[in-house]
Structure 1
Amino acid sequence: MLAFLFLIVTTVAVCSASHQFYVENHCSYPVWAAAFGNNGQTPLGGGWKMNPGDRRQFTVVDHWNGRIWGRTHCTESGQCQTGDCGGLQCNGRTGRPPATLAEFTLDGWGEEDYYDLSLVDGFNLMMTIIPVSGTYDTNHHGTYYCARAGCYSDLNQGCPGEQQQHYGGQVVACKSACEATGRDDYCCRNAHNTPQTCPSFPGARFFKGRCPEAYSYAYDDHKSTFTCRGRPKTAYTVRFC
């Protein structure tokens, strides 16, 4: 009877398992965090303010596909100079570039999660994605398996001139080369919409050289996509600074 009850409890626990996220602000200044779910599930209303040292937790549904980012230089109503989404809680909108993005596609093929730290939309602050120890299967290995994905350099320092975004006399974000120039060969579009016709370019190489774990442009998949398989569901920490 005890074995039977244990089986029931275990089954319920597995079936009810979900992905936990922890968002932490390690910056010395406030960050207005934001989240957007492509499948209609938006955590914590979509946006919230985080003072230095703050930590927030939330849960997402299975097969969640979305992004988390930080907004900076904001008013108390959530109007921001970087990563702005039109208000404190974003109201179902994603952020305006430039912004560093933590991107997730959960419970995909083979029940694996896919995640990356993306600079395709530019950079506004350092971020790290960290799978939480003890929540994932350790029988798999590889450079991009359940590893930290981060950008640990402040790319606002040394950002190429045409890519700089200014506010209050300082560089507060670094635009992607695509956004800064509108060139098709930097945006990987039209005649340049394949990996063969859109190889890496100077603006992308600036990002990649300083943040080698992050997506630097649209076709940077092979050196920037991480996977993780949960036990039963991987939890993730997303850290600002």
Structure 2
Amino acid sequence: MTLVISDLHLCEERPDLTALFEHFMREIAPQSDELYVLGDLYESWIGDDDDSEFVESTIELFKAYSDSGKNLYFQHGNRDFLLGDVFAEKTGGQLLDEVHPYQLGKKPAIMMHGDSLCWDDKEYMQFRQMVRSEEWQQQLLSQPLAVRRGIAADLRTKSREAQENKASAITDVHPQAVEEVLKEHHAQILIHGHTHRPAFHDLEIDGKHCQRIVLSDWGEKGHYLTVDGEDISEHYFKAS
């Protein structure tokens, strides 16, 4: 059985989210064979050299999972796009490309974080292009950890302010973007996060029945998908 999660937004300032994560990794994840984390695992990621106790404690939970012989996969989100090879090595996981192919029984599927599909949010798309550039990332990672923490805090504040002033439709995925990525990868199912709008959407593309499945962010409850063959179901849980 496969588990899929996204948009945990873990941070030291939210111990409630950490409690959900600990419960998930200790009580729910061990029942699976593999775990996919589709981005925004952390509220921000300032580099693989972050040595905070909080970060180390989350890495240890992932390492325990992978050490038990299970497969662990990560995609970059818009908050943690600096996750790198060192993080993957420490957790025993693998970093995936932005679009990851996945076979759901006989149905071809793809997994994404989903931010690259939000075409109408032109301001964010420009920002995304900047921060995903190798030059920008190298400049940021060359700064001391303390400076990076300040930069990350400032970016989070600006992001929250920007989101509050945008219409709901602007921050959702664009239908054409969804259609194009499904066609490009010859897939019938798209699983993604980012928008914080959990739902199962039925689509028809070139006469074929397709689906777009959206994961929820974590808050009072955690959210995950189980995938078993062609069967996909969603589940909410609270920390015990």
Question: Normalized against structure 1, the TM-score is what?
Answer: 0.31
Relative to its length, the structure with more helix (as a share) is 2
Structure index of larger Rg: 1
Question: Normalized against structure 2, the TM-score is what?
Answer: 0.31
Relative to its length, the structure with more strand (as a share) is 1
